Amino acid sequence: MITINGQSANLDALLRGTNSAGVETETLSRLSRSFTQYDYDSMEELRFELVLRREIVAAANALLRGGLQFETFRNSYCNPAYWSRTQDGGFVVNRNARASDAIADMFKNGRAYGTECATAMQIVYYGALLKVLGRDAFDREFAGAYLMNWHRIERALRETGLMRPTSDPLPGDRRYFMNPDVNTETPEWQGENVIDMGDGSYYGHGIGRRRDADIIADLNKNRRLGSHTSAYLMPSAGRPNFKRLAQLAN
């Protein structure tokens, strides 16, 4: 159920105000069907979330097309024209580079970068925010952006690192497939970070855009020898703090 400024919102009216089919419509439908109450201070705030979710899904598709490579943190690499690799395998924007250019380069020039799935999720979120906020606001907020996994994360994206139980997975959510009995030889297969694409598929870095059963099958191939404990999709999601991010857009 959706409320705007304390008033229950009508789905049909909201759908009429939505330009595109796909992600925005799907998000609205899921929010309105939910037993959970989703409160928005204004129509603009709701619109911002819908647009950002749409751009997150678009950014995941763009990153997939851009050719970003999979590599473990120990062997990660980046384009030195925009980024410096840190000792823990993360990337930090060069002092003389604009954060917006550095993020855009990851989408255009993906083969110059190799990293793990958690970093790819952050790149997706940054890519979407760049599209929604525009270059100037993005550079103001994310100058010196640092990319690694959920251990070290920019304040503005902090909530994407925190998995909360949810019964309403939404397009653009970060989800996690857990592989509890992973083979010691392949710790990178301990799980897979993915973006919920809203149509029953998930984007995961290194595995592409796939259905849940396919991702689970891939993870299961990397279990301990003889293990019968299957990988599974966790019933939780990491979500950006849309309310706070909406303020950046103003």
Contacts with another protein, residue ranges (CB under 8 A): 73-74, 86-89, 116-118, 149-151, 153, 158, 161-163, 176, 178-180, 184, 187, 190-191, 193, 229, 234, 238
Query: Which residue's CB is nearer to another protein, number 96 or number 184?
Result: 184
* Smallest distance, another protein to C-beta of residue 72, A: 8
> For residues 205 and 157, what is the distance between their CA atoms, to the nearest angstrom?
19
In degrees and rounded to multiples of 5, residue 119 shows phi and psi of: -65, -40
How is residue 65 written in tokens? Answer: 């097309």
Q: Between residues 87 and 250, which has the closer beta carbon with respect to another protein?
A: 87
DSSP 75-123: G-B--TTTEEE-TTS-EEE-TTS-HHHHHHHHHHSGGG-EE-HHHHHHH
CA dist., res. 100 & res. 239, Å (int): 22
Our CB check for another protein shows the closer of 131 and 205 to be 205
CB of 16 to another protein, least distance (A): 38
Farthest-apart Cα atoms in the chain, separation: 56
Closer residue to another protein (CB): 40 or 177: 177
- In the complex, the smallest distance separating the C-beta of residue 59 from another protein, rounded to whole angstroms, is 21
- The minimum distance between CB 150 and another protein, in angstroms, equals 4
